[in-house]
Amino acid sequence: MKTVLLDKLKHDRKSFNCGIESLNNYLKLMANQQAKKDNNRTFVLEDEFDKSIIVGFYTLTMTAVDIQGLPEKLKQRHKFSTSAGLIARLAVNEKYQGKGFGELLLVDALKKLLFASEIVGFPFIVVDTKEGAKLFYEKYGFTQFKDSPNKLFLTIADLRVSFK
C-alpha cells in the first residue's frame, strides 16, 4: 500500500476519527491550508476498496532542535546542528487501528524523511508524542529528549542502518 498527498477533493476528511479530537480537527481544517502555504505536507493512506476513505495520515515538516536535550555523545557530534525533520502528526482511523497501519505509516514517513535528509542534510527526526503514543515510537527506536518527556528523536545515522 502506498501513501499519497492529501487531496481535499478526493479524500473524506470529515469521517476520519482517530479518537483524538485535535488530530481529527487538524486533518479536517488545517492540513490542506498548511500544505497550500508550503508549511508542511500531509500524506494519507487510502482504503484499498474506497479511495475516499482515509485509513491514516501523517504530516511532515522541519523543526529546530535543541541539542542540550541530547545525550552527551550526540551533543558533541552535532554541536553545530540546528534542524530536524519532524513527524508533526500521525494517526490511524479508529476502525483500522491495531492492524499494522500505524507501523506502515511510520515506516513510510521515516523513508521519506531519510530520502529528504540525503538531499538537504539534517541529522535527526523528531516527534512530539500525544498521550499514550510514546511507547509506540520507542518501539521503533525513538529516544526521549532530556527534560521533555513527550518529545522523542531518532538519528538519521541509526535510521540509515536500520533500513539497510
Ligand X SMILES: CC(C)(COP(=O)(O)OP(=O)(O)OC[C@H]1O[C@@H](n2cnc3c(N)ncnc32)[C@H](O)[C@@H]1OP(=O)(O)O)[C@@H](O)C(=O)NCCC(=O)NCCS
Q: Least separation, in Å, of the C-beta of 101 and ligand X? A: 4
* Per-residue cell: 115: 530520502
Helix (H) or strand (E) holding 74: helix 72-77
**Whose CB is nearest to ligand X?**
102
Q: Which is nearer to ligand X, 27 or 90 (CB)?
A: 90
Q: Nearest distance from residue 66's CB to ligand X, in Å?
A: 19
Smaller CB separation from ligand X, 129 or 155: 129
Cα–Cα distance for residue pair 83/66, rounded to 1 Å: 9
* Distances 18 to 3, 55, 62, 113 between C-alpha atoms, Å: 17, 9, 24, 23
CB of 72 to ligand X, least distance (A): 27
80: Cβ–Cβ under 8 A, 6 or more apart, which residues? none
Q: How far apart are CA 123 and CA 85, in angstroms?
A: 8
Nearer to ligand X, 20 or 67 (CB): 20
What residues line the site for ligand X (CB under 6 A)? Answer: 18-20, 23, 90-92, 97-103, 129-130, 132-133, 135-136, 139
Are residues 81 and 67 in contact, defined by beta-carbon separation less than 8 angstroms? Answer: yes
Nearer to ligand X, 40 or 97 (CB): 97
Minimum distance of ligand X from residue 155's CB (angstroms): 19
